[in-house]
A and B are shown apart, each in its own frame.
Chain A
Amino acid sequence: MTQQGVRWTADQVLALAPDASSQKAGSRLGVAGPWSETGSSGEGAVWGLCKGSGSKPYRTVIATADTAGPAYKCSCPSRKFPCKHALGLLLLWAEDPGAGSGGAAVPDGAAPPDWAREWLDARGKRSEAKRSSSAEAGVVTAPADPDAARRRAERRAERVTAGTTELERRLSDLLRGGMAAAEQAGYGQWDETAARMVDAQAPGLAARVRELGAVPASGPGWPARLLEECALLHLLTSGWLRRDTLPDALAATVRSRTGLPAPAQGAPLRDHWQVLAQYDTADSKLTTRRIWVHGERSGHTALLLSYGAAGRAPALSLPVGLTLDAELTPYAADPASRQLRADLGEQFAAPAPSTGHPRGIRPEEAAARYGDALRDDPWLDSWPVTLSRVVPVPHATNWQLADADGELALPVAPSAASRSGLWRLVSLSGGAPLTVFGECGHRGFTPLAAWAHDGAETVRL
């Protein structure tokens, strides 16, 4: 693997930016002009001096292959993270036309200057320390006072139970008076109920309740959608109240859907994890980043979640189109579980460009996979699948991904139909079959990544 090979693409770098204006400022600095003494170790460190408006240039260092995503250090006063200098330097490094030849703007295989090495070394030591301490922690991880912990858990469960009882009453009132009456009420009451669920320490319920408020304004067919969501909430509260009688796996799902924290407790799984998609959703309080990765050896698909306070970028950012040799820790103890969430553990090498794509299935199989997954988790909105040989069929309202070799098609989710990514998909296809990764659910299919042919680069949608 050449060092040139592990350089990221501009898209991947820009995905790290905390906001649009940083993206812009960063891309303006992604040229050789202001930079001097740049270099890259080839082992995941990039550094350089950036001439700013002051007399002293800013010192910028980035550790690209860090366990928890890239780490940055810059002597500029900006509070953005990463700052525009770090983004600019990464862009310069990523887009370097002279890479591999003599005229590289950020030459490889150099030794870092003292000021960069200081930080890199300190970082290395810190993460070393963390790793060994967490390894030790494995032995002595039991809480100091198990009784106190149990009492805390019991108190929280009582509060959640009180919350679910209240929510159940709220749903009954709604059904008694009729949803038609609720249409006029608007967001207000639901927001209030959501706040009560936050107080009850059931953030999972709170999030679902908050979404209910938007349903009556979501266009034709809203009564059916509102009833569906209310029924699923009711199913969740009923599940919570009877969690002692449920099978272990289902009880765990109910607890996690209700919003009780649980540590990642599966056995770490090392693989070449291909980053398939990364996208953010934001509400007024929180930005949620979802990253789908796929293990080349194991064939497992996993979901990495990262959160940021409103308006800030979540910390973890993995460039689509790269493959990480890393350990992932699943949340589910049982490897056969359909709980896909995992945490990124140690990375063993610098990320390399992906060369293939997950093996695809046909549209009818994708629909069946989602149905199967609902057995373990009836609250699932969608299931990650890769479709092989499908043709995007544009339409004013009802887009489809049609099987190139059959008569069946999956509808594209209405939320995806309004995004520009769909036209990128159509353009990439040109009417020919593609491999498409996305989320398949009851609202339809949301395409997230595509490959024009075997061995093609991943195209982000």
Chain B
Amino acid sequence: MASSTAPAEAAARHARTSWEELVTAALLGTDRRTPPVTVPGREAPAALLDAAAVQTVRRRAGLRAAPAAERPAPAPADPRPPVPAAARHRLAALLADHPHAGGGRRGTSPDLMELLPQWLALANDRGYAPPPELLPALLNAARGRTDLRPQALAFAGPRAQWLARLNPDWKFALRTAQGGARAAGLRDADRAERERRWQEGLFAERVALLSALRAHDPQMARELLTSTWPTERAEDRLMFLDSLRTGLSAADEPFLEQALGDRSRNVRATAAELLSALPHSALAARMADRASSCVALDRTSGIPALTVEAPHECDAGMERDGVAPKPPAGRGERSWWLGQLVEAAPLAAWRACLGDRPPAEIVALPVADGWRGELHAAWCRAAVRQRDATWARALLGVPSSPDAAGPGAVSLAERAKLLTTLPGVERAEWVAGFIDAHGLSEAFQLLGVCAVPWAPALGRAVVDALNIARDAGSYPWSFSGVMGLAERCLDPAEAVRLDALTAVPDEREDAAPGAGGYWSEAFQRLVTTLRLRAAMREELRG
């Protein structure tokens, strides 16, 4: 630098050159284009870089705040109290647990993501508002798992709706929750508004509207549906008809009877199914007539027995009443028709036509010619459809009977469905009795219908059975389904009793190699998960 004024002059010259010219020269190269700045005695590239450096720092130092874009409207307030701090940290931990990509052995540690539904249910019970900073993670979790959505969105509340309008990834929150919320608001909405939404709404919105209305005022919902019934598409008619399951009553009969003449076979079948769930409907009476003509009490031999004469044809009347004429592959036509008739006939009718016997006695009657399986299976379906606890009890029988676990007349899946008609306490007792007698290998489906947390007797039965399974020397993963259920459903108070089982037992001769260690690990995980659930509960108590 020759003199002190030289840099200042150079800087002034640099400032006058526009940045764009410098970029163009740099892009093309100083060999091809003469740069906009030249300094005697300085090579072209160096002079260009000098100028660019001055410009760069000038530009950066000159950065200013920009005019603000339109700000989002504030989110509606959430009146619920915030989640306590400990529970908030717990939720963050649950949300941070990603499903194992490798699918490796779980070891002794709990599966946190599986506890999220319980956490959400507890928080919703207590009516807490979500910590806003965790909503994005919660919405992402619900986005991937549809089963989480109802609880997650109820907990997430109005701010999640507000967020979902800003981020298209979370659109599902608007679809699911908004429909419900709007429909709920409709109880108070005036008739014209309701009509407008019914007439103009999207399909999902209309279903939501109908379901919400049906829960609140079944008649009004039916009237709304009747008003547009003939113009609806067949698939839509089916869905709308399905929503009548809620609040089904004798008042629905005329409409359903009319739907029996529908163009669509699926609509006809659903209408028939709904009518058969109304024991005093005309369809139920017709079915009772048909069914009772097929089953008779034979007193000729010493012991009374049931004889079955399956229908010889499926006439137009039967078809109109929802009987499907064509059996699935591998089934005989006549037994197929019989099954449908018995399933749709009101159970109360049997007592009269089978010698005034209570259900338990009817079920105990021998059935001639190997029809027992068909007949009992159809009664099971009828008991589930008609929510008849007495018949369900009779068909379930005693849990400890050897029949209960075997391939008897009633399958495990049917038993599980029958159990749902019983009150919770009785359900748990029956399953406990079943496990005591038959162990766990068949119990998974039955456990799935029991209320959470499991009743003390049921919990004890499961723990005892696990203990027996361990002593028998098998590996714990043969019971991983039940173990997983136990982690989620066992009452946390049971953890104390389980502690003793977490020790590694001495290896026995006849046991599978290493099984003891794996069992101890599985029990540790069970205990750990139970403790975690107890902690979750405690934290949410506030």
Contacts and interface: CB of A to CB of B under 8 A. Distances in A.
B60 A10 contact: no
A234 B63 contact: no
Contact of B61 (A366, A371, A393): A371
B535 A97 contact: yes
B19 to A, nearest CB: 7
Interface string B472-499: 0000000000000000000000000000
Interface in B166-182: 166-167
B136 A231 contact: no
Interface string B67-79: 1111111110000
Nearest to A444: B63
A396 B65 CA distance: 20
A394 interface: yes
A391 interface: yes
A171 interface: yes
A29 to B, nearest CB: 6
B459 interface: no
Contacts of A9: 89
Interface stretch (A177-185, A189-197, A281-289): A177-185
A176 B98 CA distance: 52
B109 A29 contact: yes
Contact of B27 (A29, A173, A180, A431): A180
A227 B93 contact: no
Q: Is the interface on chain B under 10, 10 to 19, 20 to 34, or 35 or more residues?
A: 35 or more
B153 to A, nearest CB: 14
Interface in B434-485: none
Contact of B66 (A178, A410, A427, A432): A410
B510 interface: no
A193 to B, nearest CB: 16
Contacts of B525: 33
A227 B23 contact: yes
A134 B249 CA distance: 88
A393 B68 contact: yes
Contact of A423 (B27, B68, B109, B136): B136
A181 B29 contact: yes
A459 B89 CA distance: 12
A179 B27 contact: yes
B288 interface: no
Given A175-B29, A424-B136, A427-B135, A235 B53 contact: yes
- Listed residue (B66, B89, B134) with the most chain A CB atoms within 10 angstroms of its CB: B66
Interface in A152-204: 168, 171-181
Contacts of A364: 64-65
A253 to B, nearest CB: 13
A38 interface: no
Where chain B touches its partner, the secondary structure class is helix
Interface stretch (B40-48, B186-194, B311-319): B40-48
B532 A31 contact: yes
Given A366-B65, A393-B68, A371 B60 contact: yes
B527 interface: yes
Contacts of A174: 45
A27 interface: yes
B532 A394 contact: no
Contacts of A223: 23, 26-27
Given A411-B66, A431-B162, A95 B27 contact: no
Interface in A402-461: 402-403, 406-411, 420, 423-424, 426-428, 430-432, 442, 452, 457, 459
A407 to B, nearest CB: 6
Interface residues of A, number: 83
A95 B62 contact: no
Given A395-B69, A398-B69, A423-B167, A176 B45 contact: yes
A117 interface: no
A34 B162 contact: no
Contacts of B531: 31-33
B133 A97 contact: no
A320 interface: no
Nearest to B528: A33
Nearest to B66: A409
B65 A409 contact: yes
A175 B30 contact: yes
B86 interface: yes
A280 interface: no
B387 interface: no
Nearest to B49: A234
Given A176-B44, A227-B22, A442-B63, A95 B52 contact: no
A367 B64 contact: yes
B23 A34 contact: no
Nearest to A51: B524
B364 interface: no
A378 interface: yes
A14 B96 contact: yes
A25 interface: yes
A454 B227 CA distance: 57
B29 A178 contact: yes
Contact of B538 (A97, A409, A426): A97
A176 B93 contact: no
B27 A231 contact: no
Interface in A348-391: 363-364, 366-367, 370-372, 374-375, 378, 391
A24 B98 contact: yes
A428 B133 contact: yes
A177 B89 CA distance: 58
B74 A24 contact: no
B27 A178 contact: yes
A347 interface: no
22 contacts: A11-B89, A27-B112, A31-B528, A33-B525, A51-B524, A91-B93, A178-B26, A178-B28, A224-B23, A226-B26, A227-B56, A230-B49, A231-B49, A367-B65, A370-B63, A371-B62, A393-B69, A393-B72, A409-B67, A424-B133, A457-B85, A459-B133
Interface of A: 9-11, 14, 23-25, 27-34, 51, 53, 55, 91, 94-95, 97-98, 168, 171-181, 223-224, 226-228, 230-232, 234-235, 238, 363-364, 366-367, 370-372, 374-375, 378, 391, 393-395, 398, 400, 402-403, 406-411, 420, 423-424, 426-428, 430-432, 442, 452, 457, 459
Nearest 10 Cβ contacts at the A-B interface: A28-B109, A178-B29, A33-B528, A430-B75, A231-B52, A431-B74, A175-B45, A402-B68, A409-B68, A408-B65
Given A175-B26, A176-B30, 20 more contacts: A11-B89, A27-B96, A31-B529, A172-B45, A178-B31, A231-B53, A232-B53, A234-B46, A234-B52, A370-B60, A371-B60, A394-B166, A403-B65, A406-B68, A423-B167, A426-B163, A430-B75, A430-B159, A430-B162, A432-B75
